[in-house]
Structure 1
Amino acid sequence: MFEEGQLYSPVTVGADGSVEVHLGADHPGLNDPAYLARRGEIAAAALAWEPGTPVPLIGYTAEENEVWRIAGAELAPKHQRHAHSEYLRGKAALGLPADRVPQLAMVTEHLFPLTGWSYAAAPGLVPLREFYGALGERVFHSTQYLRHPSQPLYTPEPDVIHEVIGHANQLASPRFARLTEAAGAATRRLETDAAVKAVADVFWFSMEFGVIWEEGILKAYGAGILSSFGEMDAYSHMEIRPLDLHQMATIPYDITTYQSVLFAAENLDQLEDVVGGFFDTVDDVSAHRLLGEHAHA
C-alpha cells in the first residue's frame, strides 16, 4: 500500500503567482536552478490549462528531446526481449516519434482512433479519485516534464517518458485499455476511501507492475516496468506470485525501489478474468471484505 502523494514532487503557487516544484532530496535536479525553473514553467502551463481547451504545447528544448531519444533508444531493445506481445502490438500501432518528445495532443491524435483514449495535462500529483475517475472516462492525466538530463535512464517520479512510453503504448492495446477503464469506472461507484485504495493497489500490481507468462517466459506488461531501464533487468529475479487479489490489495510495498514481489497472470485471459472481473464488480462491501481478511490475518 502506498500514499499517492509520494509519487510526485509537490507543486505550489506563491502569493505572486510563481509556480514552484519541490523536488525530493534524492532528485538529480535538486541543485540545478535551470532545471527547477523549467519544471516550474511546465507545471504552470498545466495549472493554467482548462479542460475542454487544447492541451498546452510545450516548446521542448534540444536537450529535452535528447533525453527522450536516449531513453526510447535504450528501452526499445529491452521491450523486444521483455514486453508481452500485446504491449508490443500496442506500441507498434501507436507509432510515436523516437527522436523527439511527443506533445500530449499528438499522443491523443494517435491513441484515440485505436481505443478512444485521450491525454490531459497534469502539473504533478492528481488526487486519487480525480485521476482514477478520469480513467473511467478514458482520459489519462499526464505530466509533461522530463527527468534530469544527467540521468536519462532514471527518474524518482513519473515523468512524460513513464506516462507515454509506459502507459500510452499500453493504452493502445484494446485489452489493456479496457482493464484501465474498468479500474477507473470502479472508483466512480465506490464511496469509501479504503475501497478506492484497494482498487488503486490492485492496479499498482497489475497495470503498473504486472507480469504475465507467455509461452513459458515471464513477460512484463506493467507501465512501471516497461518505462524503467533497470526494472526490466530486475523483474524476473523478484519473488513471483500467482494472481491473488487479497495480497495485491493489502501487502505493503515501497515505491522508491524495485518491486520485490510481483504477481504473474498465467495468460492474458486470466488477467482479464481475475483483475478485470474485480474491477468490473467491486463495490464497497466486497472491497471491505477483501481488506477485512487482511485485518484478521
Structure 2
Amino acid sequence: MSDPFIRSGLKPEEIPADFVVDQRFEAYSAADHETWSKLHRRQAELLRGRVCDEFFEGLTALGIAADGIPDFRAMNRVLKPATGWEIVAVPGLVPDRVFFTHLAERRFPAGFWIRRPEEFDYIEEPDIFHDVFGHVPLLMNPAYADFVAAYGAAGLRAQTPEDLARLARLYWYSVEFGLIETEAGLRIFGAGIASSPGETIFALESASPNRIGFDTVRVMRTRYRIDDYQQSYFVMPGFRAMPALDEASVEAAMAQARDRADIDPEIVLPRDRVFQRGDGSHHDSTKIAS
C-alpha cells in the first residue's frame, strides 16, 4: 500500500474490495481544517477570472467553503438529487477497474486524507483538497457529470493496456487539465489545474505551452507530462459540446487512434485549431537547469 493508505490509519485488510470507507469526518483535527482553509482561500482567490463560472457555482451549491473540510454526507444531499452523483471516501488511489466502476455508477472516489503543512504546495498523490475542491464542483453541471460517467463506462469496456492508455489521455487532457471556451475567453475546468496555484497561472497566461482545440482522436494520441506543467493544453468548445463517449463513438475514435502514431506533448500539427502556439520557454529552461 502507498503512503496515503498508511496516513488513513487503515490496515490493508480493512480496505474493502470497492475501496469505499467511511470519511471519519469527526476525526479531522483543527490543524487539518486549518490546512484546508488556507488552501481554499489561496486557490479560490487565484481562480477568480480564470476558472469557468460553473466551477464557482458548484462550490457554492455544495457548500465547499473555506471554513473547513467538507462533510461528504452534506455534499451528497445536494449532489445526488442534482445529477445522480455521490462522493465516496477512499484511502488513496484505487485500481483502474475499481475507479472506472465507480465513475460509471456515478460515484466519485475522493481521498479523505489531507496533506501535511510541509506539503502545502506539492503532494505526489491527490488528497481531499485536490479531489473535492478540484473535481467535485463541476459534478453539479449535468453535461460534465454525464461525460465523466460515460468515461467510466468506456474504461470498463477497454480491452488492452494500449486502449487504456489512450483513454487515460482523454481524462488527463479534459477532466484533469482541460481548458474551455467561454464568452469571456479561455477558462480553466480541469481539476489538476484548478487545485494548483502554479498551473492556474501557467495554463492560461504563460507563453510557453500550446493551447489547441480539443479533438478526441488527437487527444487520445497525445502523450502527457507527469513531472511538470503540461506542454499542451486542449480547449473544449463548451460543456454542451463535450465529445460523445457512447460505445460507438469511443470505438470509432479509438480505431483511428490505433492506426496513427502517438504524438509528443509539445508538437503542434498542421490541422490543429491553435489558440496559442507556445514558445516552449518553460520546458527549455528546465532542461538547461537540469
Report the CA distance between 1:107 and its aligned residue: 3.2
Distance 2:235 2:130 in 1: 21
Kindly indicate whether residue 210 of structure 2 is the aligned counterpart of residue 239 of structure 1.
Answer: yes
- Picking from 133, 140, 150, the partner of 1:165 is 133
Q: Which residue of 1 aligns with 2:224?
A: 253
Kindly indicate whether residue 107 of structure 2 is the aligned counterpart of residue 136 of structure 1.
Answer: no
Report the CA distance between 1:127 and its aligned residue: 1.3
- Picking from 255, 265, 269, the partner of 2:240 is 269
Report the CA distance between 1:279 and its aligned residue: 5.0
Q: Which residue of 2 aligns with 1:88?
A: 56
Amino acid at match of 1:48: E
131-140 vs 246-255, which moves further: 246-255
Report the CA distance between 1:164 and its aligned residue: 0.1
Report the CA distance between 1:49 and its aligned residue: 5.0
Kindly indicate whether residue 148 of structure 2 is the aligned counterpart of residue 180 of structure 1.
Answer: yes
Distance 1:198 1:288 in 2: 11
Kindly indicate whether residue 14 of structure 2 is the aligned counterpart of residue 48 of structure 1.
Answer: yes
Contact 2:223 2:262 in 1 (8 A): no
1:96-136 CA-to-partner distances (Å, cap 9, x unmatched) read 23211123333323321221111222222211222022101
Report the CA distance between 1:41 and its aligned residue: 4.4
Distance 1:46 1:56 in 2: 16
Q: Which residue of 2 aligns with 1:293?
A: 260
Report the CA distance between 1:209 and its aligned residue: 0.6
Report the CA distance between 1:175 and its aligned residue: 1.7
Q: Which residue of 1 aligns with 2:248?
A: 281
Contact 1:68 1:98 in 2 (8 A): yes
Report the CA distance between 1:189 and its aligned residue: 2.6
Report the CA distance between 1:179 and its aligned residue: 0.9
Report the CA distance between 1:91 and its aligned residue: 1.9
The answer for unaligned runs of 5 or more in structure 1 is 1-9, 12-20, 23-38
RMSD, aligned α-carbons: 2.6
- When residues 253 and 52 of structure 1 are mapped into structure 2, their CA distance, relative to the original with a 3 A threshold, is closer
Report the CA distance between 1:280 and its aligned residue: 5.3
- Spell out the pairing of 1:173-252 with structure 2 (5 A cutoff): 173-236=141-204, 237=206, 238-252=209-223
Q: Which residue of 2 aligns with 1:101?
A: 69
Per chain length, whose mean CA-contact separation is higher, i.e. which structure has more relative contact order (CA < 8 Å, sep 6+)?
Answer: 1
1:164-216 CA-to-partner distances (Å, cap 9, x unmatched) read 00111121222211111110111223323322332221111011111012125
Q: Which residue of 2 aligns with 1:62?
A: 30
**What is the DSSP-based 3-state SS (H/G/I as helix, E as strand, rest coil) of the residue aligned with 1:82?**
coil
**What is the DSSP-based 3-state SS (H/G/I as helix, E as strand, rest coil) of the residue aligned with 1:293?**
coil
Distance 2:79 2:12 in 1: 20
Distance 2:185 2:262 in 1: 35
Distance 1:220 1:250 in 2: 22
- When residues 86 and 252 of structure 1 are mapped into structure 2, their CA distance, relative to the original with a 3 A threshold, is same
Contact 1:111 1:168 in 2 (8 A): no
Contact 1:210 1:222 in 2 (8 A): yes
Instruction: Provide the aligned length of Structure 1 versus Structure 2.
Output: 259
- When residues 176 and 253 of structure 1 are mapped into structure 2, their CA distance, relative to the original with a 3 A threshold, is same
Report the CA distance between 1:48 and its aligned residue: 2.3
Contact 2:36 2:129 in 1 (8 A): yes
Q: Which residue of 2 aligns with 1:114?
A: 82
Identity across matched positions, percent:
28
Distance 2:9 2:172 in 1: 25
Amino acid at match of 2:46: K
- When residues 103 and 290 of structure 1 are mapped into structure 2, their CA distance, relative to the original with a 3 A threshold, is same
Distance 1:78 1:139 in 2: 29
